[in-house]
Amino acid sequence: MKDLANHARIFFGLGALLFVSTFLWVCVERSRSKAAIDEAHRQLAALQAELEGRKHELASLDDEQRQVLDPKLLQAKTWRADPFISDARKDLISHLTALAIQQSNLAMLVQSLLAKTSDNESPEMTAERRDAALRVLNTAAQQNRQKLETARQSAAELLITLDVRPEISTMDARQALDTVSLSGYWPFFEAKRKRDALQGFADRLRARLMQERVDGAAQLAEVEAVAQEEQQHLQVAKQKAAQLLTTLSVPDEISRMEANKALDTAGLRAYWPFFEAKRERDVLQTLEDRLRMRLIQEQVDAAAAARKQ
């Protein structure tokens, strides 16, 4: 039980570190000085190093955390008097509840700060803040792309080297890593989990970059230019996927497979270039759909403003 309490303290510390670091980044983003932006980069690097160091400790906490973080248990008013819950676990539940409240309050504080800062900003400050945010996001995206490519290669090599069967390789990585009988394949699933995390981060960064560009647009024409650019990227991705579909002679029953599952199937590696292109096409299609809806809203707002004049 002491180990559980120690793990809980590690979990609290990491949660606080993540939230405080997010708060610091938001504050720094509002600053115009290059030194402040450089400091944000250093804090981000330190946070990433801390997260890497805590990874194994958090993994061992997963099972214990699932037992403790029962919503019914956290919400119940009678758990303190339950004789079947140890004092250490009661203390842990109490800390978790307090942490959730603190995080909620801090989130409200950050939102309030953002709103007040936006109201007091000049157009020049707003533009400079947007440029700083775009520089940070572009740098993070570039670094993540390099890590993602390495992770993809590592997962693909282990998939083939370990000869992981399709019914196993397409399993959820976390479930596979919790299955002792699959321990021989754990190196692959570790690489797969890392690859998927980096891929998800890359997708979120891409969406955030698009949002920053649209939010920073001063005129409707700028939003339309962003939409046109994204449409061109989508068309290129569609053409590439179509060409690979034909060039590689991908059978219909295979081409319709979900891209991520196909990319985790060693027997389909001859078709992997197509599925990579298919995945990219689908991601860009989602972004383009989202941007189209935003453009329609901007056009409606512009028309309403013109009528008022």
**Structure confidence at residue 134 (pLDDT):** 81
- In this predicted structure, which of 27-41, 90-104, 155-169, 196-210 has the lowest mean pLDDT? 27-41
Stretch 221-238: mean pLDDT, rounded? 92
Q: Which domain-ending residue is among 64, 97, 120?
A: 120
- In this predicted structure, which of 42-46, 81-85, 158-162, 219-223 has the lowest mean pLDDT? 81-85
- Residue 304: pLDDT above 60? yes
Answer yes or no: do 105 and 145 share one domain: no
Answer yes or no: do 91 and 36 share one domain: yes
Q: Find, among 121, 109, 99, 83, the residue nearest to 16 by Cα.
A: 99
- Residue 269: pLDDT above 70? yes
- Residue 182: pLDDT above 80? yes
Answer yes or no: do 90 and 158 share one domain: no
**Structure confidence at residue 151 (pLDDT):** 94
- From residue 110, alpha-carbon distances to 31, 100, 106, 250, 281 in Å are 15, 15, 6, 50, 35
Stretch 246-275: mean pLDDT, rounded? 95
Q: Which domain-ending residue is among 156, 187, 209?
A: 209
Answer yes or no: do 52 and 164 share one domain: no
Q: Find, among 161, 187, 162, the residue nearest to 173 by Cα.
A: 187
- Residue 181: pLDDT above 90? yes
Answer yes or no: do 186 and 254 share one domain: no
Answer yes or no: do 113 and 189 share one domain: no
Answer yes or no: do 199 and 225 share one domain: no
Answer yes or no: do 53 and 98 share one domain: yes
Residue with the larger pLDDT of the pair 261 and 108: 261
Number of Cβ atoms within 10 Å of the Cβ of 153: 12
Which residue type does 24 have? L
Give the number of domains in the chain.
3
**Structure confidence at residue 79 (pLDDT):** 42
Residue 46 lies in a domain: yes
Asked if residues 129 and 26 have their Cβ atoms less than 8 Å apart, the reply is no
Answer yes or no: do 79 and 1 share one domain: yes
Answer yes or no: do 188 and 226 share one domain: no
Domain, as residue range, for 169 = 135-209
Residue 127 lies in a domain: no
**Structure confidence at residue 300 (pLDDT):** 86
Which residue type does 118 have? S
The set of residues, in sequence order, having a beta carbon less than 8 Å from that of 290 and lying 6+ positions away, is: 207, 210
Asked if residues 235 and 303 have their Cβ atoms less than 8 Å apart, the reply is no
77: confidence class by pLDDT, cuts 50, 70, 90: very low
- Residue 75: pLDDT above 80? no
303: confidence class by pLDDT, cuts 50, 70, 90: confident
Answer yes or no: do 114 and 142 share one domain: no
Per cent of the chain over pLDDT 70 is 60
Please write the tens of the pLDDT for every residue from 95-138: 556 656 665 665 565 566 555 555 556 667 777 777 788 888 88
**Structure confidence at residue 88 (pLDDT):** 55
**Structure confidence at residue 171 (pLDDT):** 94
Answer yes or no: do 142 and 205 share one domain: yes
Residue 45 lies in a domain: yes
Q: Which domain-ending residue is among 71, 95, 120?
A: 120
